[in-house]
Structure 1
Amino acid sequence: MTSPKMVFVSGNFNVLHPGHLRLFRFACELGDRLVVGVHSDRLGGEAAHVPQDLRLEGVKANSYVDEALLIDVPVESVVDQLRPDFVVKGNEHQGFPNPELEVLNRYGGQLVFSSGEAVFSSVDLIKKDLQRAARTVTHVPTGFLSRHEITPDRLGSIINDFRNIQVCVIGDLIVDEYLTCDPLGMSQEAPALVVTPIHTQRFIGGSGIVAGHAAGLGAKVCYMSVSGNDDTRDFAYGELQRFGLDTTLLGDDTRPTTLKQRFRADGITLLGVSHLHQGAIDVNLQDKILERFEAVVPDCQLVVFSDFNYGCLPQALVERLIELGQLHGVMMAADSQSSSQIGDVSRFKGMHLLTPTEHEARVSLRNHQDGLVVLAEQLRDKSEARNLILKLGQEGALLHLESAE
């Protein structure tokens, strides 16, 4: 019977962010027991911004960690004492002196670098989590809230301020249609499931719901998009009017109104059908959007580009819109969604805020190996964005802000 394999990770761990969690998760996959060394205040020096007891407590509370200990001697001395099978460090340590390596070579241990990629073995992680004692810990980031003066009263005041601003939202309109079906069984003629639609619901999606949410917060919203000339457009226009938007919905006979249908039974999506055209709108439609934008932008305090890469925002139009927005000193934000390899959020230059997912950032940069902080820095540099919120799904978000520099 083989002995359990120990994995060792060390660092300051001032605040456990998603990069640390991925490092721990990666380390867990290598062995059976994860030991984390937290540098003491003396060892961490100026890099230790949080008192050692609090940093140690935070690491101990993490479910990936089997044992956390405070270290006050050089890391290589701890490695020599513990003799772990693996020492894991972040990818940024490659190419630099790693004093642990000499100790590891003496007894046959390995130094492994974690790339910080998003892809790990979920099955193995679940198995290992089930073997651990179940622990559910909820941390309220009181320190973060305090540093940034975030209070319920201040949040309420910010929301109330929406009543005093005008927002312009430009982007791809989508209608989402959900068809609830009754499954009848398998077809006798082909290996296909036969269903009967019993209920249909339609909702505004894409940039339309972004504009609707802004109006719901109390803002005066000017909305611009392109649609086909069809029944789906009629539904969408009625809903946009119900939201109270000042809507410019330009008809294009060369495309349908983007409609995404989902056939569902017993809470499961059986089939998705998308009716769309991804080609760029023609110059005539671009000029009409630009003309409308020129008329409203002097009164706007915020412009939101809500891009789904369905052709409403070709690059030439984006550049002209941004130029006008900058001329009038308007705050601008962009979200460019890409479900595959299509899309480049960095094409929205000079935004006050970009809000990509990690996948969208990696597609834009063609970077699938660096960690999250490096990824955010590179995207901010490429896009010339002032602030960036990197969305990480259930892991939260990474904020890379101008004020933090």
Structure 2
Amino acid sequence: MAELNITPRCVIVQGNFDVLHPGHIRLLSFARACGDKLIVAVNTDAAMAVKSRINETHRLEMINSLECVDEAFLTSKSPQDTIEEYKPYAVVKGKEFESRDNPELAALNQYGGKLIFGSGEYETIAEQYIRKANKLGSNFDFSEASAFAQRHDITQEKLNHVMDRLNELKVLVIGEIIVDEYVQGTAVGMSQEDPTIVMTPNKTEKFLGGAAITAGHIKSLGARSVSLFSVVGNDAAGQYAKDKIGQYNVHAELFTDTTRPTPLKTRYRASNKTLLRVNQVRQHKIAKELQTSLLKKLEKAIPDIDLLVFSDFNYGVLPQPLVEAIITLCKEHHVKVVADSQTSSQVGDISRYHDMDLITPTERETRVALNNPDDGLVILAHKLSNRSNPKNLVITLGEEGIFIHIPNRQTNDWENDRLPALNRNATDPAGAGDCFLAASSLALCVESSPWEAFYLGSLAAACQVDSLGNTPLSLTVLNQAISESFK
């Protein structure tokens, strides 16, 4: 019989899943790769020949926790009846069933369905396929945060009041969109031909990064409206960015530049470690005609916003003349402005952002901007403040937390403090800085104290790095972290 052309190609696996183990996860991951949608039928307690050690509700919950499973349900029906009801493209069973009698085959033959045997790759790391629950992690340490809160008279009530006001804000983010791709796999050894690690890829995920995820964080944390201005290439990554940004409820003004690809960063990871990152980027400045088009759109948008965020990855979207014109517009319309300018594989200069309400460089970015490898943090912060004149400066220190420097121009004095990283064991550090900038900037816009703003930013960053991939931080999760930090 001719094979049916069923779209999407639905795959079904039916079983007890009594104690969920890596073998189950490998099988289900293999099954998902065989089609476009994986449905798992979990046998009820009554339908099992042997009494289960785990009740049907919990067995179903465990199956639903897997990223590879699109849909799962409890059933008392036989596999043949399930096939008759759903008419899947394929049924997948473990390799051990290949030499046995399989009654599903007759039901599948009625319409041309497939019976596929396979148990998945033994190298698969099961934990990679379990959905990360959007809740506070177990790696948080609030001991020093409590002392910081006491020093600066920060209370849960004050922070809750700040959070309640975020929905008043209209925000515009401008900078580079980056597409972050994660290739998860298992390192299987060293090549015999050359000294290269060999890995077997298990799954690939994509996330929006750069200015796009900063905009996503800001919207997810409660801002009333968020606009994103950026430039993308005429390529698949650019189309992905256009499609994905709509899911964040962010209004996008995206300009196309055919001379550059959309920045794509691919990370190859095994055992929760990144083995290699491949960047597909160009760093030349966008043409003057494109700068003019951007500025014309911004002239119409800026009078109606409360906050503008420069999310600069130094791939050419923000040449200095454009930056200065934007800052002038913001001053004219009394719009708060904050900036982050990254120096990683590329070279940036955070000091070119003058008169910001907040800048958040890393220690390395600060030293590069000042060409200063020698001075301590206090002197570095003071020198950068003298050069760029920010109202607030936070130097981010990765696993060591943040160093806060608040200049007082009237007295030619300043205040310093530090706050350690609140997450002791980050799953993925990507996005910590974006999340810190988003939460801190929003708080400053509703007239919180800088100390309250940076406390909130640190909580947001700790929540963000608790799961893999840079995705918009849930307002519920941040509110839970606020509550937990005062217990």
Q: TM-score range by the shorter chain?
A: 0.5 to 0.7
Q: Secondary structure at the match of 1:203?
A: strand
Answer yes or no: is 1:396 the counterpart of 2:388: no
Q: Secondary structure at the match of 2:163?
A: helix
Shift of 1:402: 3.8
Conserved 8 A contact 1:332-1:352? yes
Q: Which residue of 2 aligns with 1:222?
A: 227
Answer yes or no: is 1:180 the counterpart of 2:172: no
Q: Which residue of 1 aligns with 2:77?
A: none
- Letter aligned with residue 338 of structure 1: T
* Residues 1:390 and 1:233: Cα distance change in structure 2 (over 3 Å): same
How many residue pairs get aligned? The number is 269
Answer yes or no: is 1:376 the counterpart of 2:387: no
**Structure 1 residue aligned with 2:273, among 268, 271, 290?**
268
Distance 1:393 1:154 in 2: 27
Distance 1:380 1:337 in 2: 17
Q: Which residue of 2 aligns with 1:342?
A: 347
Conserved 8 A contact 1:186-1:192? yes
Distance 1:217 1:186 in 2: 44
Conserved 8 A contact 1:258-1:276? yes
Shift of 1:361: 0.6
- Letter aligned with residue 149 of structure 1: D
Distance 2:152 2:275 in 1: 45
Conserved 8 A contact 1:225-1:312? yes
* Residues 1:145 and 1:265: Cα distance change in structure 2 (over 3 Å): closer
Distance 2:145 2:184 in 1: 41
**Structure 2 residue aligned with 1:284, among 289, 292, 298?**
289
Shift of 1:395: 2.1
| 1:132-143 alignment, distance < 5 Å | 139-140=143-144
Shift of 1:151: 1.1
| 1:6-405 alignment, distance < 5 Å | 139-140=143-144, 144-146=148-150, 148-183=152-187, 185-187=189-191, 189-219=193-223, 220-340=225-345, 342-402=347-407, 405=414
- Letter aligned with residue 377 of structure 1: H
Distance 2:177 2:346 in 1: 20
Shift of 1:396: 2.1
Instruction: Identify the range of structure 1 (361-370 vs 387-396) with the bigger mean alpha-carbon deviation.
Output: 387-396
Q: Secondary structure at the match of 2:241?
A: helix
* Residues 1:193 and 1:340: Cα distance change in structure 2 (over 3 Å): closer
- Letter aligned with residue 382 of structure 1: R
Shift of 1:362: 0.7
When normalised by structure 1's length, the TM-score is 0.63
Q: Secondary structure at the match of 1:242?
A: helix
Deviation string, structure 1 residues 233-256 (Cα, Å, up to 9, x no partner): 111112211000010111111111
Q: Secondary structure at the match of 1:153?
A: helix
Distance 1:399 1:233 in 2: 36
- Letter aligned with residue 288 of structure 1: S
Q: Secondary structure at the match of 1:247?
A: strand
- Letter aligned with residue 256 of structure 2: G
Shift of 1:313: 0.7
Flag the structure with more relative contact order, 1 or 2, with Cα contacts below 8 A and sequence separation at least 6. 2
Distance 2:346 2:160 in 1: 39
* Residues 1:170 and 1:352: Cα distance change in structure 2 (over 3 Å): same
Shift of 1:193: 3.8
Shift of 1:355: 0.7
- Identical counterparts, % of pairs: 45
- Letter aligned with residue 177 of structure 1: E
Distance 2:293 2:385 in 1: 31
Q: Which residue of 2 aligns with 1:113?
A: none
Q: Secondary structure at the match of 1:213?
A: helix
Conserved 8 A contact 1:341-1:363? no
Q: Secondary structure at the match of 1:401?
A: strand
Deviation string, structure 1 residues 338-393 (Cα, Å, up to 9, x no partner): 01571110001111111111111111001111111111111011002111111122
When normalised by structure 2's length, the TM-score is 0.53
Conserved 8 A contact 2:219-2:249? yes
* Residues 1:193 and 1:305: Cα distance change in structure 2 (over 3 Å): same
Distance 2:377 2:198 in 1: 45
Shift of 1:138: 7.0
Distance 2:274 2:151 in 1: 44
Question: CA-atom RMSD, angstroms?
Answer: 2.0
Q: Secondary structure at the match of 1:181?
A: strand
* Residues 1:341 and 1:275: Cα distance change in structure 2 (over 3 Å): closer
